[in-house]
Structure 1
Amino acid sequence: MIAALIGYEQEQKKANDGSYFIPNEKTQEVFHKIIEKCEELNQGRFEPKRHHGVLSVALGKDDNSGSVRAIGTYSTIQEVFGRPDRKQSISSGVYSEAAVQQMLENCRQNTIMEVEAKMNPKIETMDQQLKFLMKNIPGTHLFSGGVSAGTPLSDPLPTRSNCHSVDTYPITTIQSPKMCLLAVCPNGTPIVVAKGMAHPSTDETMVNHQPLLPNCVKVSVDEVIKGREQFNLPLPDQQYVTIADIVDSFAQWPMHLVSLEESLSKQNKKPKDQSVDLSTTGARAPIVGDDVLPHLGEHCKCLVDLLIGFPLGKDCIELELDKAIFHHQNTRSIFVMMNDITDLMMMNWLNVSIIQVFVLFLNQLCNQYEVRSIGFVCPTQISHTMLKSNFRKVISYFVHVMEQHKDKNFILAQYHQDSHWLLLVICIRSKSICILDPLPSNRDIGLIKGSMNLAFRSVPTGARVKKINWKPCKCPRQPRGHECGYYVMRYMYDIVTKYSSVDNLDGAFESDSPYSIHDINELREHWSKFFLF
């Protein structure tokens, strides 16, 4: 409206002699009265008042607060300034119809270019995946003759006979995660590059926010065969490139390059005597020996006894991963392997699934005793491996967790690096992070420090964060090299049960002496009881 008014004024306000020209007669009368009253005001013959000023006298009406004065009942811009030419210049602030059409066309072209720039990489990736599948999907299973991990297959893969044309890959029939070997086929010859877990897959399965491709399966990579780290993934991925990039992460893998370890063991076994009594094959052997069982607590023994009756074909137990506790949906479940439970009972090194289940127990404990000052993170989302593969994703995860727990005293972050567990306690109010390390060393934790420092500075706290204070805290130290997981669980248990109301953990742990065997057994009892009930 203002631009239009200026356009009208610039085109109509001057007559041929250069003087201002107003075509409307009533407006001219008001204009002359205004000039007259201004001269009287300058000569001291007119004294304006609040509701009786120059404009109100010129209009012939007293001014009232909140009123807008104009000439006539239906005065419009055209009545006051006249009708302008339809052709209006851009320099006057009014764009012509042709100029507007040109701007719309430019906007359309820019939008097309932006969309193409974003979509082309994704389209190229999908095209590469399609070409790979069309070229490499064979008509046979992998490793039909058996092969050890890391060994190239020199013999060509045999083809199936017509009578077996309807059989399926064993990987398509699994109902729970299974240990497997993963191979790539760079020169037409499969080479085993990693060990991991194959997960049940359906048409609705998503992997890293992407739909599962045809004839592929969802896998997680646990261990890379030495010397195979730099092999490229069998399928192009927008986030990862090499085998080393996806350790502790999920990926899509062609079915014919995945072999279940139990299938290999069956293929490599020699025929057994058929006269063996098959009545004994339905029972699972105890997960611990008779030398360990007497030293376990009541709930641990109960768990061991119950697992004897667990189906032989099932190697893991699935628990729901609560988004409200772990703050992500990269996977919906926690898969606790039988070997993980065995390690817990045998006091071996602990896998991440044991730590995750214990976090679920601690959250239940917090709810039971109305502890509202403590939050948790998911160890799979902040591990050293995850930091190396997707640093930005870890920062975003920390920012999300800190925003969710900004009113908490402590956020407990279980961090894994180089086969070692330690606990990082995030204190948002004091802008500090306490390091509880059961085996202090000159370990370089620069990556996790950098991600958490950046996350701190990205979370609104009402004040500018100048420096994050990283504080190594006195805490009990492990006596040997494999108890770190138990000590991290005990640190968390003590913080929840003893120190949830303190402002900081400086001096909370009075001694660095090792925990007693009773302290560790108490943890295992809590874990087993929660897992059972």
Structure 2
Amino acid sequence: MLEKCRQDIMTEVEAQMKPRIDTMDQQLKFLMNNMVGTHLFSQGVLAGTPQSDSPLCDQPHTRSSCHLVDTYPVATIKTPTRCSLAVCLDGKSIVVAKGMAHPTTDETLVNRQPLFHNCVRVWVDDVIEGREQFNLPMPYQQYVTIVDVIGNFVQWPMHLVTLDESLPKQNKKLTDQSGDLSATGTQPPLVDDDVLQHLGDNCKYLVNALKSFPSDKDYIELGLNEEIFHHRNTSSIFVMMKDIKDLMLMNWLDVSIIQVFILFLNRLCNKFKVRSIGYVCPTQICNSMLKRNATNVISYFIHVMEQNKDKQFILAPYHQESHWLLLVICMRSKSVCFLDPLPSDRDIGEIKASINLAFRSVPTNGRIKNIDWKPCKCPIQPGDYECGYYVMRYMFDIVTKYSSIDDLDKAFESDSPYSINDINEIREQWAKYFFSECV
């Protein structure tokens, strides 16, 4: 009997350890295939060039007349830079995700591990639809597939990272390190004069102020307020210059614009002593995060609900399939109102199940039998790109008009589109806050 128990324990331990051992084995193979100065290189290839007995992919090296391998572009960046991330499939490079490449040094760590040779530290924030289950180019720890690493820092081989060409290119070498703006140049205008003249005063001030920034500054970093967003998964919000340009041009909005607007709304609540509103960080509940790890999303919702148990509403901007909508968690009535600026038969079952489970996990005075989900009448966007602006306007109206009512599903009287003045007011409020508090 004792021997059988021992054997059962050993079998269970081996089963639990096998995935970790397999991952460590893959790591070791990658490291051995890419170590500097330990290979017999083919003629004309210098030590330090990424090589492998079974190449990860055809690596696009460009050689000068002296046969020196040019530096990978991602190795020269000085600031976090948007990028595409690829894996190798049948000898071809296939883009599987989008993210942010970060500058690296010899001391850079990723999840407390040193960088492998010719790898870079990247933040993965979105996966290409249909490629969620592709294997990572170099899996490690508990991560194996692309979807496993959404919302995390990971290592990525440099030759499979492509910088986003839509962003200003990094200066590889500054001619003057004194800080004189003339050495690096200044930002080109975010918008041309024709667009500028139609912007509101606060938007104009912001656009003109940003022209004084160095040309190699692609983003503005803000501290992420844990008391507002209720997590420590990252300490910063990176507002890219391109994101601000999109706001000025009325293009589709990135999550950083929504996050900054939540900061503004929180300040507005404090100013007018509105105590009934709480917020969810949109990066922590987006559909790609749900697909990666629904358990973490549920745990986050539970934490937010516990922290905001005395609030009337918790505003949760939700992103799914390139579309923004607003979920309003009603704590007192144990219900959820959802405001969709472009109503359709879209499936929100994953986020619905997560919030329902969170509601049932938060301690209450009585048992929760059913969580009522209420589609709300609300202004509907006229085009296919305004969803982010409408979600910000919904939140603004709730904070300024409806923060004390009980029945939010009847608050918005019409589904007629917002006027251009309504949307411009939101852009002006955003620009005024960002100019005064963040620039």
| TM-score greater than 0.5 by the shorter chain | yes
1:457-487, Cα deviation, whole Å (9 max, x unpaired):
1111121111000011121221221111111
Q: Which letter does structure 2 place at the counterpart of 1:214?
A: F
Q: Superposition pairs for residues 353-364 of structure 1, below 5 Å?
A: 353-364=256-267
Query: Residue 139 of structure 2 contacts residue 145 of structure 2 at CA under 8 Å; is this kept in 1?
Result: no
Matched, 1:483 2:386: yes
Q: Which letter does structure 2 place at the counterpart of 1:217?
A: V
Query: Residue 78 of structure 2 contacts residue 103 of structure 2 at CA under 8 Å; is this kept in 1?
Result: yes
Residue 197 of structure 2 aligns to a residue whose secondary structure is helix
Q: Superposition pairs for residues 260-409 of structure 1, below 5 Å?
A: 260-261=163-164, 282-409=185-312
Matched, 1:411 2:309: no
| 1:302 Cα deviation from its structure 2 partner | 0.9
Matched, 1:457 2:360: yes
Percent identity of equivalent pairs = 67
Separation in 1, partners of 2:368, 2:120: 45
| 1:384 Cα deviation from its structure 2 partner | 1.1
Residue 139 of structure 2 aligns to a residue whose secondary structure is coil
Q: Superposition pairs for residues 1-40 of structure 1, below 5 Å?
A: none
Larger Rg: 1
CA RMSD across the alignment: 3.7
Query: Residue 59 of structure 2 contacts residue 159 of structure 2 at CA under 8 Å; is this kept in 1?
Result: no
* Farther-moved stretch of structure 1 (222-231 vs 196-205): 222-231
Matched, 1:129 2:32: no
Separation in 2, partners of 1:160, 1:183: 25
With structure 1 as the length reference, what TM-score do the two structures score?
Answer: 0.68
Greater share of residues in helix: 1
Cα pair distance change 1:336/1:474, threshold 3 Å:
same
Query: Residue 478 of structure 1 contacts residue 487 of structure 1 at CA under 8 Å; is this kept in 2?
Result: yes
Match for residue 517 of structure 1 among 403, 420, 433: 420
1:396-440, Cα deviation, whole Å (9 max, x unpaired):
111111111111111110011121111111012211001111111
| 1:173 Cα deviation from its structure 2 partner | 4.6
Separation in 2, partners of 1:389, 1:422: 20
* Farther-moved stretch of structure 1 (254-263 vs 395-404): 254-263
| 1:213 Cα deviation from its structure 2 partner | 3.7
| 1:169 Cα deviation from its structure 2 partner | 5.2
Matched residue, 1:502: 405
Query: Residue 147 of structure 2 contacts residue 291 of structure 2 at CA under 8 Å; is this kept in 1?
Result: no
Query: Residue 212 of structure 1 contacts residue 218 of structure 1 at CA under 8 Å; is this kept in 2?
Result: no
Matched, 1:234 2:234: no
Greater share of residues in strand: 2
Separation in 2, partners of 1:288, 1:360: 25
Q: Which letter does structure 2 place at the counterpart of 1:287?
A: L
Residue 137 of structure 2 aligns to a residue whose secondary structure is coil
Separation in 1, partners of 2:83, 2:224: 23
Segments of structure 1 that go 5 or more residues without pairing to the other structure are 1-102, 143-151, 268-278
Cα pair distance change 1:155/1:480, threshold 3 Å:
closer
| 1:193 Cα deviation from its structure 2 partner | 4.2
| 1:181 Cα deviation from its structure 2 partner | 3.4
Q: Which letter does structure 2 place at the counterpart of 1:368?
A: K
Residue 183 of structure 1 aligns to a residue whose secondary structure is strand
Matched residue, 2:49: 140
Cα pair distance change 1:236/1:441, threshold 3 Å:
same
1:123-149, Cα deviation, whole Å (9 max, x unpaired):
44233222222224673379xxxxxxx
| 1:337 Cα deviation from its structure 2 partner | 1.1
Separation in 2, partners of 1:493, 1:508: 13
| 1:120 Cα deviation from its structure 2 partner | 5.2
Separation in 1, partners of 2:337, 2:59: 56
Residue 422 of structure 1 aligns to a residue whose secondary structure is strand
1:269-327, Cα deviation, whole Å (9 max, x unpaired):
xxxxxxxxxx8982432111222111111111011111112211121111111111111
Separation in 2, partners of 1:201, 1:473: 47
Higher relative contact order at CA 8 Å, sep ≥6: structure 1 or structure 2? Answer: 2
Aligned residues: 408
| 1:228 Cα deviation from its structure 2 partner | 5.7
Separation in 1, partners of 2:201, 2:166: 36
Residue 236 of structure 1 aligns to a residue whose secondary structure is strand
Cα pair distance change 1:249/1:417, threshold 3 Å:
farther
With structure 2 as the length reference, what TM-score do the two structures score?
Answer: 0.81
Cα pair distance change 1:160/1:332, threshold 3 Å:
farther
| 1:121 Cα deviation from its structure 2 partner | 3.7
Separation in 2, partners of 1:463, 1:141: 61
Residue 234 of structure 1 aligns to a residue whose secondary structure is strand
Cα pair distance change 1:485/1:259, threshold 3 Å:
closer
Residue 400 of structure 1 aligns to a residue whose secondary structure is helix
Q: Superposition pairs for residues 51-90 of structure 1, below 5 Å?
A: none
Separation in 1, partners of 2:169, 2:423: 38
Separation in 1, partners of 2:8, 2:131: 44
| 1:218 Cα deviation from its structure 2 partner | 2.5
Matched residue, 2:328: 425
Cα pair distance change 1:480/1:425, threshold 3 Å:
same
